[in-house]
Amino acid sequence: MADSARARREAIQQLAGLRGKLAAAEDRLSGAQAAMKRAEAAFDAASDNFINAEAALDAAREERARARQARYAARQAYERASIAADRLARRLRELSERLDGMT
């Protein structure tokens, strides 16, 4: 009977110890779950920032492409205007020389 009572006490002590360990494990689980939710929220925010940054980068690339096209068109217009001005200057000189020759 004494052995039976001692075995019962030991089982009760083991049960109490296991209950304490279970409570501690559940506390750690709760903390880990809260940390996981914070990490997921941080990831979602970072993902949103990344998506916004990608959209801004795409918009900047499109703007740069439009600016490049405008620059090319402006350079072409400048070249045409320069050629036209050179031709007009040459015609002006030729006409001035003809007029000088007529006097």
pLDDT tens per residue, range 36-60: 999 999 999 999 999 999 999 999 9
Q: Which two tokens stand for residue 7?
A: 């075995």
Distance, in Å, from the CA atom of 50 to the CA atom of 42, rounded to the nearest integer, reads: 12
Per-residue confidence band for 102, with pLDDT thresholds at 50, 70 and 90: confident
Which residue carries 């939710």 as its tokens?
Answer: 37
Give the HSE-up count for residue 46: Cα atoms under 13 Å, Cβ half-sphere.
6
User: What is the structure's pLDDT at 101?
Assistant: 86
Inform me whether the pLDDT recorded for 103 exceeds 80: no
Inform me whether the pLDDT recorded for 64 exceeds 90: yes
Mean pLDDT, the chain, as a whole number? 96
